[in-house]
Structure formats: C-alpha cells, structure tokens
A and B are shown apart, each in its own frame.
Chain A
Amino acid sequence: MKNIRWGSLKIIIMHIVLILGGIAMILPFVWMFVTSIKPSTEVLSWPPSFIPKSPTWENYRTVLREAPFGRYFLNTLLVSTISALSILFTSSLSGFIFAKYKFPGRSVLFLVLLATAMIPLECYMISLYLLINRFGWINTYQGVVAPILVMAFGVFFMRQNILSVPNELLDAARIDGCSEWRIYTTIILPLSRSALGALAIFAYMQAWSFFIWPLIVINERDLYTMELGLTMFQKRFTVDYGLISAGSMIAVLPILVIFLILRRNIIEGITLTGLKG
C-alpha cells in the first residue's frame, strides 16, 4: 500500500518537473510571437505584458518591406535540397559498396573516412575558403553548397542499414542477370527507404542551420540564406525588438509547421542518424 502511494507520488513529481521544463522549452517561442505582434511602444513597456493590448501585424509588413525574406527562404531551400540530394545519393551508393563488396583499397578508404569524419568545418574553413576563392565561387550557390555535398556519417549510416540486406537476395538478382547498378536501384534503394528518409531529414536540418560558411562566402544580399539574412537584419535593427521578433518568426514558422506535420519521422530520423552514424 505504502509502495503504491510512493509510486504515484513519484509519477506526479516527475510530471511537475517535466511540465516546468516543457514550459521553459516553449516560453521563448511564445515570447517571440507575443513581441512580434506588439506595436513598438508596447514592446518597451515595463512590466512586460503577455497579452498584447493592441495586437498588430505591422511589424511583419515592415520586415517584408525591409528585407527579402522570401528570397532568403528560396535560397536556403535550394541550397539544402541540393545538399540533401547529393548526400542521399553519395551515401547510399558508397554505403552499399562498403557494405557488400570487397575490393583492393577498401579498408584504407574506409579508415580515411572514419578518421576524418569528426573534423568540423570550422577547423579547415580557411583553406577551403582559399580553394573556393580560386574556383571563383565566392558569392555563388555552388560555393555555399560545396562543403555539404557529402557526409561521412551518412555513408556509415547507410552502410549500417544496408548490411542487414541478405546477400542471397543480391545473388539471386545476379543470377537473373541484374547488373550491380540495377541491384542498387531496384533492390537497395527501395529497401532503405526509411533510412534514406531519416538521412534526408538530418541533411536538411544541417543545411538549414548552416551559418559560419555562408557568412564567409556570401556577401551579396540576394544570395543570403535565411540564417544569414536574419543575422544581418537583426544587426540593422538592433533595438527594435518588435521587428526582430517578427523576422525570427518568419524564419522559424516554416520549420515549426514541417516539424509538427512530420514530428515522429523528424524526431526519430535525427536521433537515429546521430546515433548510428
């Protein structure tokens, strides 16, 4: 009897802790939205009001007039789509080859991949910049996307998944006269659909929050990504928090909508890719 009561009490305490933490997770978003619909006089009032007295969309109108956020959005969409497609293709094909074939040089290549997988872009961005500069790719889309076309973790992740495809299946296809490429397109790709989905989400998220590299290679406003555009915007309107909040809302909203629609896939995709990669 005593045990049951203690058990229930424990659950209640857990809920209280989790709910308080949950409020801390959501509150900044709510506060950003509330600020974004306040007129500038109300933004700087003390004590701060949680329900705007005279809500207005004016901040949003000003933001869209002052900065081409639509353009930033499309730029980011383009860069992240190219990055994701390239990562999906290279990771699945080389993951397949590393999982199912033995060839001279295999272990050396794999070791190089493994040893350098952890090294972040920040460690080599200077020489990469000089290289991209020599290509004449400063202020171009290809310059932004170049460092995120392959992902070592993606290769490991796909290899891990493809290892579980039975070899008998591949051999049967070979007996039927399938070429290796056909095996890749008709057996491997369909069988790794869910892994590819997870990887795609991971790749999109990586590209979407890409920051320091675009900051370095892009200085033309028309080529800004969302992250870069918002940064420059907030530098221009440092003190006008109504406007900045509206800009942030515009940057966050598409992602929140997609997250709420695909929530399970996204949570699992990101967690599993991070874990298995």
Chain B
Amino acid sequence: MNKKRSRLNNFYLFCYIGLLPTVLLYFIFRIIPIVDTFRLSFYSWSVLGVGNKFIGLENYFKLFSDKLFITSLVNTTLFAILVVSFSVAISLALAIMLNNKRMERFSPIYELIYFLPVVTPMVPVAVMWKWIYDPQYGLLNYFLSLFGISPKAWLVYPELALYAIVIMSVWKIVGYYMMIFLVGLKNISKEYYEAALIDGAVGWQVFRYITLPLLRPIVLYVLVVATIQAFNVFTQVYVMTSDIQGAPGRLVRVLVYDIYENGFRYFKMGYASAEAVILLLIVLVLTVFEFRVMGKED
C-alpha cells in the first residue's frame, strides 16, 4: 500500500515538474497579458505611467464614436469576408481537381507550386506585390493594358487598395487550405463513391451529397481559422500602404493597424487595449462557434 502510494506520488511529481516550464511560460507571456488587457481597457494609460487612472467604460464609449475605429472595423470585416470566401472556394476547387484519380501523377508538382507562396514570409511577398501594383510601371497595369483596360492606381485609392490586398492575401494562402482539403478528401473512403456510383449519382450530386457532408468538419475548421487570421491582418497592410502619399495608414485602415498606431505611436495604451478587447471578443465568438459545431459533429 505504502509502496503504491509513493509510486503514485512519484507520478504526480513527474507530471507537475514536467508541466512546469510550459505552464510558467504560458501564464507569464500569454494568460497574464490577456487578462491584463481587459484591466488596461478600463484605464487611461500611457507607457510613462504618468496620469494613469481608472476611467471605467469611457474608452469603449469613445471607441464607438471614433471614426477611424469604425472605419477599421468595417474594413477588416469586409476584408475577412472577401478573403475567407474566395480562398476557401478556390482552394476547395483546386483540392477537388487534384484529388482526381488521373491527376495523381501530376499532383505533387502542383502542390509544390501552390505551396510556394505559403512558405514565403509575408514581407518580401508584400514588397513584390506592391511593385506589381505600381500605378505607373506595375506589371498588373501592363497586363490590363493588353486588354485595353486603362491603368489603375491600385494602392492609392482606399476601395481599390482593399481589393488589391485581398487578391494578394488570397494568392498567399490558397495553397495552404488546398493541402488541408486535399488531406481531408484523401481520408474519405472510396466505398462512399462506389456506392454513389452504383446508385447512379453524377458529378455535382456526388459533390453535394457525398464529398461536402463528409468534408464538413474540415471546411468548418478552415473557415474559423481563416476568419480569425483575416481579422488579424496587419503585415501586408503595413508594408503595402503605410508609406503611400505620406498618409500613414489612413488608406486601408484595419483593426490591428489601428491598435498598433494608438498603442505604439500615440501611446494611448488603455484606449488601444479597449480596441484589442473588441478584437479578442470577435476571436472568442468564432472559437466558441467552432467548439459548438465541432462538439455536435463528434
């Protein structure tokens, strides 16, 4: 009995000591800052620590009359909707094509090519797209001119710039979701398709009644992850639009850019934290949504 007990204590000791580094790092650099963000959002706060004081919900009230914040929220939402729907639709179509039996031989080379933008870091990619979008000498305007379309100042006008960044972001991520869908498609048992074939199902029906329902968990997962990622868009916006016309970030203002500017250019840390809380709530809603849906699937 005693021996068993000491064995058990040993087990526990190993568990707790083994988990210590993970738990410690996770709490210090993640959980505590997350909780602290909520606290900060009720304060008027600056880095220097002068004039920090509790102001309740004032930051939040201010946020919803802040034109720049509203603009960023609208822009980011629009960006997320566009990027997520296009990238998921395109990557699903690509994956279905590659999953064809007669594509098997060529699939690896296509996978390699479509994965190229995925592994390349964002900054060089954003830099080269900025050059492609150049209003005077850009490659895109050159191609459009071949079809008689007049050159456009892609990154200069806010509406156009948002779409330009959407195109570039879809280009960057499509290969990743394609691979995830491809793994999902490969996991669908051949028997389902054979059964469908015997029942006389054709092309679209097979997709609608066999592929899509069986792929549902993965599609949902990708939708949620992609949406969260899209709401956090920053790097490409920062690199591609922040220096144009000397109007830093006024053009395609997105949520994280607004947080960054308020927090680290104007040092309104409390105010920026309130914005961050809004972003966090968006992420949490999406996470809960995923858990609920996934829970049902299981």
Given known contacts A26-B113, A266-B119, A270-B118, A130 and B269 CB-to-CB distance under 8 angstroms: yes
Tell me the residues in window 14-53 of chain A with beta carbons closer than 8 Å to chain B beta carbons: 14-15, 17-18, 21-22, 24-29, 31-32, 35, 43-48
Contact B112 A267 (CB under 8 A): yes
| A28 / chain B contacts, CB cutoff of 8 Å | 117, 125, 128-129, 132, 171
- For the complex, what is the distance from the CA of A252 to the CA of B137, rounded to whole Å? 23
Which stretch (A54-62, A189-197, A241-249) binds chain B? Answer: A241-249
Tell me the residues in window 60-102 of chain A with beta carbons closer than 8 Å to chain B beta carbons: 86, 89-91, 93-94, 96-97, 101
| B110 / chain A contacts, CB cutoff of 8 Å | 18, 22
A224 to chain B, nearest CB (A): 11
Given known contacts A21-B94, A126-B269, A252-B120, A118 and B228 CB-to-CB distance under 8 angstroms: yes
From B121, B175, B218, contact of A255 by CB (8 A): B121
Closest to A262 in B: B119
B297 to chain A, nearest CB (A): 15
When each residue 133-162 of chain A gets 1 if its CB lies under 8 Å from chain B and 0 otherwise, what string results?
100000000000011011010010000000
Closest to B290 in A: A118
Contact B31 A123 (CB under 8 A): no
Tell me the residues in window 259-275 of chain A with beta carbons closer than 8 Å to chain B beta carbons: 259, 263-264, 266-267, 270-272, 274-275
Contact B25 A150 (CB under 8 A): yes
Contact B238 A46 (CB under 8 A): no
When each residue 211-236 of chain A gets 1 if its CB lies under 8 Å from chain B and 0 otherwise, what string results?
11001100000000011001100110
Given known contacts A150-B26, A181-B14, A234-B239, A11 and B102 CB-to-CB distance under 8 angstroms: yes
From B10, B114, B123, B225, contact of A25 by CB (8 A): B114
Contact A155 B137 (CB under 8 A): no
From A150, A211, A251, A267, contact of B179 by CB (8 A): A267
Contact B34 A211 (CB under 8 A): no
- For the complex, what is the distance from the CA of A20 to the CA of B34, rounded to whole Å? 44
- For the complex, what is the distance from the CA of A195 to the CA of B242, rounded to whole Å? 40
- For the complex, what is the distance from the CA of A78 to the CA of B23, rounded to whole Å? 24
Judge whether A164 is part of the interface by a CB distance below 8 angstroms.
no
- For the complex, what is the distance from the CA of A94 to the CA of B283, rounded to whole Å? 25
Given known contacts A128-B29, A155-B22, A227-B121, A22 and B36 CB-to-CB distance under 8 angstroms: no
From A22, A94, A245, contact of B131 by CB (8 A): A245
Contact A271 B183 (CB under 8 A): yes
Which stretch (B53-61, B188-196, B273-281) binds chain A? Answer: B273-281
- For the complex, what is the distance from the CA of A256 to the CA of B112, rounded to whole Å? 11
- For the complex, what is the distance from the CA of A17 to the CA of B12, rounded to whole Å? 57
- For the complex, what is the distance from the CA of A224 to the CA of B137, rounded to whole Å? 30
Contact B176 A272 (CB under 8 A): no
- For the complex, what is the distance from the CA of A243 to the CA of B238, rounded to whole Å? 20
- For the complex, what is the distance from the CA of A205 to the CA of B269, rounded to whole Å? 30
| A122 / chain B contacts, CB cutoff of 8 Å | 232, 234, 256, 259, 276, 279
| B171 / chain A contacts, CB cutoff of 8 Å | 24-25, 28
Interface of chain A: mostly helix, strand, loop or mixed: helix
Tell me the residues in window 79-121 of chain B with beta carbons closer than 8 Å to chain A beta carbons: 94, 97-98, 100, 102-103, 106, 108, 110-121
| A124 / chain B contacts, CB cutoff of 8 Å | 30, 33-34, 36-37, 276, 280
| Total number of A residues with any Cβ neighbor in B under 8 Å | 98
- For the complex, what is the distance from the CA of A174 to the CA of B280, rounded to whole Å? 45
Given known contacts A94-B22, A267-B179, A127 and B40 CB-to-CB distance under 8 angstroms: yes
| B272 / chain A contacts, CB cutoff of 8 Å | 126
| A48 / chain B contacts, CB cutoff of 8 Å | 137, 139, 142
A223 to chain B, nearest CB (A): 16
- For the complex, what is the distance from the CA of A255 to the CA of B256, rounded to whole Å? 27
Given known contacts A44-B137, A124-B34, A90 and B22 CB-to-CB distance under 8 angstroms: yes
Contact B259 A93 (CB under 8 A): no
B34 to chain A, nearest CB (A): 5
B153 to chain A, nearest CB (A): 15
- For the complex, what is the distance from the CA of A135 to the CA of B112, rounded to whole Å? 43
From B11, B114, B235, contact of A21 by CB (8 A): B114
Contact B134 A241 (CB under 8 A): yes
A91 to chain B, nearest CB (A): 8
- For the complex, what is the distance from the CA of A117 to the CA of B153, rounded to whole Å? 40
Contact B256 A274 (CB under 8 A): no
Contact B113 A212 (CB under 8 A): no
Judge whether B214 is part of the interface by a CB distance below 8 angstroms.
no
Judge whether A167 is part of the interface by a CB distance below 8 angstroms.
no
| B21 / chain A contacts, CB cutoff of 8 Å | 89-90, 93
B81 to chain A, nearest CB (A): 18
Given known contacts A14-B103, A47-B142, A123-B34, A93 and B234 CB-to-CB distance under 8 angstroms: no
What 9 A-B pairs come out closest when comparing CB atoms?
A127-B36, A248-B124, A209-B121, A180-B14, A127-B33, A124-B33, A128-B33, A123-B280, A271-B179
A residues at B contact (CB < 8 Å): 7, 11, 14-15, 17-18, 21-22, 24-29, 31-32, 35, 43-48, 86, 89-91, 93-94, 96-97, 101, 103-104, 106, 109, 112-113, 115-116, 118-120, 122-131, 133, 146-147, 149-150, 152, 155, 179-181, 184, 205, 208-209, 211-212, 215-216, 226-227, 230-231, 234-235, 238, 241, 244-245, 247-249, 251-252, 255-256, 259, 263-264, 266-267, 270-272, 274-275
